[in-house]
A and B are shown apart, each in its own frame.
Chain A
Amino acid sequence: MSTFETLKQELTSYAFPAGISTSVLLEVSPPLRRVLQKIMRQGSMTFKMLSEELDLTGHEAAEIADLFVKCGFLKSTETTTDGDVVYRICHTRSHRPDAPIAIWRQMLDDMRDDLDPRGSDPNGNSDANSNKASSSKTGGNKTGGNKTDLGDNNLNDGSSADTGV
């Protein structure tokens, strides 16, 4: 099977709508990993470089590039002055799974049940249930917002390191 066919077949089996994390590189085939790794290392890769890297014809490279984008591996961010499309890795923001929180909560519920042999509230309004409801709201990034005054911290010299900014 040609490189084009192999890549096409593999790419169609993936779907990362939110982008990829670095660990995804460990799961893909060596040819796919090699090109993604190179783009990650360089920061970006033009369409022309991509087709050369994969040793594909222009038509094949266009199809593969589209698949890369469609599957969530790459994003096309800009074009060079001569109109060549520039691709970058589409990184996902990796989130800590909520599972550990749920596990602790479940353990607490179980302990509560063990301590109270009568079981939960007969009306079904146990505290444990209300806790579970609130747990679904945990997680998510709340780090937004920038400081308005960045100051001049550009390449502090040794003496100004004491002040930091």
Chain B
Amino acid sequence: MLSLNMAAALAKAGKRVGLVDMNLLTPSLHISLGIAAEQIGYTIQDYLAGICEAQHLPIDVTARLDEKLSGKLFFVAARSDISVQRLPREAYPAERLLEGYMALSDYAKLDILLIDCEAGLTEVTLPAVAAADMLLVVMRLDQHDYQGTGVAIDVATTLDVPDIGLVVNMVTSEHDPLEVARKIQDTYKRPVRAVLPHSRTALALAEREMVVLKAPEHPLAEGIVELTQYCLTMSKKTASNSAIDSSTLHQSARH
């Protein structure tokens, strides 16, 4: 949900945004966008298998979010069929994927590309981390995430990802957000970009709607918008320093 809301907030800010569902094991973003599995055309797995090219992948879903959005949101879906699950595990063409990200950015003239990866560091997530201009490691306040977050940050640091930050998601009301941010920052020695509250309202909305569009005054929406503003600021800096046309943002989202 976080990546979709970030993408929606960026599109609302007038940007041309790409969002790739790289959670190949359990892709779900298409559901939130109201696209049934049988309605998906070519998927990222099709592209990796050489069945289609990068320009066949993006689906313009802007109108599904809000016709009045000044920007654009192009979505790249993944399929969860058993038949396509074999590909990324058995023979994962990292080169093709990295080229695909670039081709996608060029073709759709993207300002920013969000890559929503599955949790954990795999041969699927590593190339995305290595190619990213910015990494947001999304964590929750539970023991499992603490260790995984530490490893992800260590690896991203080794890979010289220019901007590594943390997003603490689904923080319940008994926690003080500022205190959470301080503790997490002290622990991982990395900046906390956002502490997002757990919200039943947002969860109820998330079935079909984007909280940043439908309830922009909600604290969760405000937190996500603030996060995207930071991303935009950084992407401008990166774009001016990088040979890559559009900035790539990797988000390791945990659902």
How far apart are the CA atoms of A95 and B61 in the complex, in Å? 34
Q: Please tell me if the beta carbons of B155 and A93 are within 8 angstroms of each other in the complex.
A: no
B contact residues around A21 at 8 Å (CB): 94, 123, 126
In the assembled complex, which residues on chain B have CB atoms less than 8 Å from the CB atom of A33?
158-160
Q: Are A158 and B63 in contact (CB under 8 A)?
A: yes
Provide the bound-state CA to CA distance between A96 and B123, in Å: 10
- The contact of B158 among A26, A43, A91, by CB within 8 Å, is A26
Residues of A within 8 A of B90 (CB): 95-96, 139-141
The verdict on B203 contacting chain A, using a C-beta distance below 8 Å, is no
> CB within 8 Å of A: which of B72-91?
74-75, 86-87, 89-91
Interface size counted on chain A using CB atoms at 8 A: 40
Residues of A within 8 A of B31 (CB): none
Task: Please tell me which one of the listed residues B35, B89, B126, B242 contacts residue A161 in the complex, with CB atoms under 8 A apart.
Answer: B35
- Determine whether B221 belongs to the interface, using a CB cutoff of 8 Å to chain A: no
Q: Is the CB of B158 within 8 A of A143?
A: no
Q: Which residue of B lies closest to A144 (CB)?
A: B50
Chain B residues in 8 Å Cβ range of A141: 90-91
Partner-contacting stretch, out of A54-62, A120-128, A148-156: A148-156
A163, B53: Cα distance in complex, Å: 18
In the complex where A37-B130, A40-B131, A94-B91 touch, is A26 in contact with B155 (Cβ < 8 A)?
yes
Across the interface, which residues of B come within 8 angstroms of A159, CB to CB? 63
Q: Give the interface centre of A94, A95, A157 by most chain B CB atoms within 10 Å.
A: A94
Distance of B70 from chain A, by nearest CB (Å): 15
In the complex, are the beta carbons of A91 and B95 less than 8 A apart? yes
Q: Would you give the 0/1 interface string for B85-103, flagging 1 where the beta carbon is closer than 8 Å to chain A? A: 0110111111100110010
Contact, CB under 8 Å: A156 / B158: no
Q: Which residues of A contact B242 (CB under 8 A)?
A: 41-42
A25-45 interface (Cβ within 8 A of B): 25-26, 33-34, 37, 40-43
| Residue A117 interfacial (CB < 8 Å) | no
Interface residues of B (CB under 8 A from A): 35, 39-42, 49-53, 55-64, 74-75, 86-87, 89-95, 98-99, 102, 107-108, 123, 126-127, 129-131, 133, 155, 158-160, 242-244
Residues of chain A having any CB pair with chain B under 8 Å: 21-23, 25-26, 33-34, 37, 40-43, 88-89, 91, 93-96, 139-141, 143-144, 146-147, 150-151, 153-159, 161-165
18 contacting pairs across A/B (C-beta < 8 A): A33-B159, A41-B242, A43-B98, A93-B93, A94-B91, A94-B123, A144-B50, A150-B56, A153-B56, A155-B55, A155-B60, A158-B63, A159-B63, A161-B60, A161-B61, A161-B75, A162-B35, A164-B41
